[in-house]
């Protein structure tokens, strides 16, 4: 019995614990089955023990993440702060080491056969993008959707990947049986901001074309402008261009989140600022004294976004704020900057004019 793999484990494929131990002892080069693809990215297949992850205080009860790590490499990604659990760094390791949970759909099928979720919402892609490029090879997200369909499990999927179009057939079938929403994370259509903040993602306009294709197929598809990054993608004119493009895509729902910084993500992002936007560093020190931007900044954020959403007829498609969606007490203004409403009566005063920022008459987001 000692030599037999544990339930759901695949012979020859390590668990996350084994991966952490290998990295701690020998670095990334010590990964037992790492395969380098597409340049500098190492992919390690692993055996997961569970698929469903229960969460509290969110508009969904369960999360599913078939991958860990993400080649999109977004500098603001909150999931960077979880890499330390694997003895990996929040910087380049996040986008250059991706764990592939090869048995994920099988584990999920076994879990669903043993318990009913009673119609509770499952979020797919909360910690890493389920449609990052490696999904084209492993098809774990497609197989996961196939597992969910017979159980009529409500799904909220969030992605930056246009590969989701491949699975239109499954999304249509899931929509026929239960609630299914696809939300594209798209902070801005400003090309300079996109290239800087999201170096490994699909072009913003490609994502909006994917929204249109899903909507034409009858799938509930929308956009989350997240995160709005002060001084880089926060200029009102740019926000307006983005909202107009979203409206033209036919998105069924729209929301927005303001950047928040915590733990290793904060450290990585501030290092990124120091390299690429040094003129913004001092302003961020004042604006982000804590995890969230100041309350006064958040108020301007909400005010302007509300006005612009109304201008393009998106107010009626607006996603509710977290305090409306979650079963927990309303958040204070201090912690509400990341709710789905935003705007500025003016450009961001803490930031001097320079790269990524312009006077109020300019644009960006």
101 vs 48: CA distance, rounded Å: 6
For residue 345, the model assigns a pLDDT of 25
Mean of all residue pLDDT scores within the chain: 78
Q: What is the pLDDT of residues 14-51, one digit of tens each?
A: 565 655 555 554 455 556 555 556 667 778 888 888 99
For residue 15, the model assigns a pLDDT of 60
Backbone dihedral angles phi then psi of residue 184, each to the nearest 5 degrees: -90, 125
Element (H, E) at 345: none
Q: What is the pLDDT of residues 112-141, one digit of tens each?
A: 999 889 889 999 988 889 999 899 999 999
Q: Strand, helix or coil at 119?
A: coil
Q: What is the pTM of this model?
A: 0.79
For residues 128 and 53, is the Cβ–Cβ distance under 8 A?
Answer: no
Q: Which residues does the chain have with pLDDT short of 50?
A: 1-11, 25-26, 86-87, 89-91, 320-365
- Mention every residue, 6+ apart, whose C-beta is less than 8 A from residue 222: 181, 182, 183, 184, 211, 251, 252, 253, 254, 255, 317, 319
For residue 74, the model assigns a pLDDT of 87
Q: Strand, helix or coil at 280?
A: helix
If phi over 0 gives left and psi between -120 and 50 gives alpha, with beta otherwise, what is residue 313?
left
Please write down the HEC assignment for all residues of 141-168. Answer: HHHHHHHHHHHCCCEEEEECCHHHHHHH
How far from the centroid of its chain's Cα atoms is residue 160's Cα? Answer: 7
For residue 331, the model assigns a pLDDT of 32
298 vs 339: CA distance, rounded Å: 9
For residue 161, the model assigns a pLDDT of 96
For residue 66, the model assigns a pLDDT of 94
For residue 75, the model assigns a pLDDT of 87
For residue 87, the model assigns a pLDDT of 41
For residue 200, the model assigns a pLDDT of 86
301 vs 3: CA distance, rounded Å: 58
- Mention every residue, 6+ apart, whose C-beta is less than 8 A from residue 45: 10, 13, 33, 99, 100, 102
For residue 250, the model assigns a pLDDT of 96
147 vs 142: CA distance, rounded Å: 9
For residues 206 and 184, is the Cβ–Cβ distance under 8 A?
Answer: no
246 vs 236: CA distance, rounded Å: 15
For residue 333, the model assigns a pLDDT of 33
């Amino acid at each position: 019995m000692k030599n037999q793999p544990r339930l759901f484990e695949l012979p020859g494929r390590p668990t996350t614990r084994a991966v952490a131990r290998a990295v701690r002892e020998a670095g990334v080069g010590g990964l037992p089955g790492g395969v380098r693809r597409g340049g500098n990215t190492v992919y390690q297949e692993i055996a997961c023990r569970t698929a469903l992850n229960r969460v509290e205080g969110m508009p969904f009860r369960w999360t599913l993440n078939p991958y860990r790590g993400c080649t999109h490499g977004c500098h603001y990604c909150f999931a960077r702060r979880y890499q330390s659990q694997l003895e990996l760094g929040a910087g380049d390791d996040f986008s250059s080491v991706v764990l592939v949970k090869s048995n994920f759909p099988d584990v999920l099928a076994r879990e669903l056969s043993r318990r009913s979720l009673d119609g509770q919402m499952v979020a797919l892609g909360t910690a890493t993008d389920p449609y990052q490029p490696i999904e084209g090879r492993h098809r774990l997200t497609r197989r996961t959707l196939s597992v969910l369909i017979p159980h009529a499990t409500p799904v909220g999927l969030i992605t930056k990947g246009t590969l989701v179009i491949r699975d239109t057939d499954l999304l249509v079938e899931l929509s026929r049986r239960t609630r299914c929403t696809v939300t594209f994370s798209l902070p801005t259509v400003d090309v300079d901001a996109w290239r800087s903040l999201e170096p490994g993602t699909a072009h913003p306009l490609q994502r909006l074309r994917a929204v249109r294709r899903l909507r034409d197929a009858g799938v509930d598809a929308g956009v989350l402008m997240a995160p709005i990054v002060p001084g880089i993608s926060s200029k009102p004119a740019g926000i307006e261009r983005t909202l107009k493009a979203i409206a033209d895509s036919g998105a069924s729902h729209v929301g927005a989140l303001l950047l928040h910084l915590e733990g290793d993500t904060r450290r990585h992002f501030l290092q990124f600022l120091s390299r690429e936007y040094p003129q913004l560093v001092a302003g961020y020190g004042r604006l982000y004294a804590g995890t969230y931007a100041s309350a006064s900044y958040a108020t301007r954020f909400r005010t302007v976004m509300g006005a612009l959403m109304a201008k393009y007829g998106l107010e009626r498609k607006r996603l509710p704020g977290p305090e409306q969606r979650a079963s927990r007490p309303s958040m204070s203004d201090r912690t509400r900057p990341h709710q789905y409403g935003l705007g500025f009566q003016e450009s961001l005063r803490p930031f001097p004019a320079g790269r990524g920022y312009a006077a109020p008459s300019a644009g960006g987001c």
